[in-house]
Amino acid sequence: MWLALLTRLLAVPELDAAALRDGDILLHTSRSAQAVAVAAATASPYTHVGIVDRIGDDAFVIEAVGPTRRTPLSEWLARGAGGKATAVRHPGLDAAARAAVVAAATSYLGRPYDLSFTPGDDALYCSELVTLAYAAVDVAVGTWRPLGDLALDDPATRRLLKRRWRAHPACRGAPSLAACRPALAAVPVVTPESLAADPRLRIVGTSYLLRPR
């Protein structure tokens, strides 16, 4: 997956924060222990994602981090590994639709973070917030797939599952992680990687590649 992504990135310009629009989707590599597991499970450098919100001359990122919040763009970029990020855009949205995506994302401000990565909007994880905001304008982004399709046997992913399986709704009453594994494997998830790879979205800038000046 990383090789395919690299091929796409080679064809796009360097990230220009001033050129970002409302509703653009920003991806980066976060630095948490969870991010290590997400990267391993998805074979992608992208472990966190948010939605650009421009207010006057200022730019922010609406992100599900616990709780869902609006973060200044400069702070969001600095929080990623190496300060790097990639921006993708749905080319079929006009200004009104982009504003509607931002309004939908804003409606989730304050929601708690979903440590279980389960569908629903009582609590949200980062890529779920993005898909819900776009769904509000009847636009599908990313790909929902069973958790079992990911690399759950990677050591980093196994460590995360061991820490969290008892609190997962799918594991209620299960005597062990092994007993719960089939139910966990069936849970649908949407990942930052699936947004980065979505052919309906166009990569408009990246700082993941070093370019000669």
Four-CA torsion 108, 75, 56, 97, nearest 10 degrees: -40
pLDDT of residue 213: 33
pLDDT of residue 158: 93
Report the CATH number at residue 137. 3.90.1720.10
Judge whether 9 lies within some domain. yes
Q: Where do we find the tokens 């708690």?
A: 112
pLDDT of residue 4: 55
What is the per-residue pLDDT across 124-148, written as a single tens digit (0 to 9) for each? Answer: 999 999 999 999 999 999 999 999 9
- Which residues share a beta bridge with 52? 61
Please give the average per-residue pLDDT across 195-207, as a whole number.
95
Judge whether 139 lies within some domain. yes
pLDDT confidence tier of residue 212, bands split at 50, 70 and 90 = very low
What is the per-residue pLDDT across 33-85, written as a single tens digit (0 to 9) for each? Answer: 899 999 999 999 999 999 999 999 899 999 999 899 999 999 999 999 999 99
Q: Domain total for the chain?
A: 1
pLDDT confidence tier of residue 9, bands split at 50, 70 and 90 = low
Mapping DSSP onto H, E and C, the string for 21-90 reads CCCCEEEECCCCHHHHHHHHHHCCCCCEEEEEEEECCEEEEEEECCCEEEEEHHHHHHHCHHHCCEEEEC
Residue 116 has pLDDT above 60, yes or no: yes
Judge whether 68 lies within some domain. yes
Judge whether 163 lies within some domain. no
pLDDT confidence tier of residue 32, bands split at 50, 70 and 90 = confident
How far apart CA 102 and CA 59 sit, in angstroms, is 12
Please give the average per-residue pLDDT across 75-104, as a whole number.
96
Determine the Cα angle at 23 with ends 99 and 28, to 5°.
160
How far apart CA 123 and CA 19 sit, in angstroms, is 31
> 109: domain range?
2-144+191-206
Judge whether 71 lies within some domain. yes
Judge whether 88 lies within some domain. yes
How far apart CA 129 and CA 184 sit, in angstroms, is 21
Please give the average per-residue pLDDT across 79-96, as a whole number.
95
Residue 1 has pLDDT above 90, yes or no: no
The residue length of the chain stands at 213
Residue 87 near residue 26 (C-beta atoms within 8 A): yes
pLDDT of residue 97: 97
Judge whether 159 lies within some domain. no
